[in-house]
Structure 1
């Protein structure tokens, strides 16, 4: 079974650069307080690391 992480959006993309909004959409998030379970890959970790003020890792599974 693959390792996964649960990511929650905690910040609003309003008045943020376009690339940060696109990163949120790439993670499958687009509204406040939504959570997604994503595969724990280097690309997903990099996306989360690029917008730490907008998302939070809630849980690591696996």
Structure 2
């Protein structure tokens, strides 16, 4: 079952990346800039969340 899950995750990731690239190419330069800014903000938030969780585990 775990093997099927991993296969599905990989296939979904490839499909998602392909769709994202297609959508990105069809955007105007202004929309691309806005999307990149939003993406950077999301990545920073995710990194901060991971750091917070790791620091909580260190306290135990």
Q: What TM-score, normalized to structure 2? A: 0.27
Structure 1 or 2: larger strand share?
1
Structure 1 or 2: larger helix share?
2
**Higher RCO structure (Cα 8 Å, ≥6 apart):** 1
Task: Decide which structure has the larger Cα Rg and report it.
Answer: 2
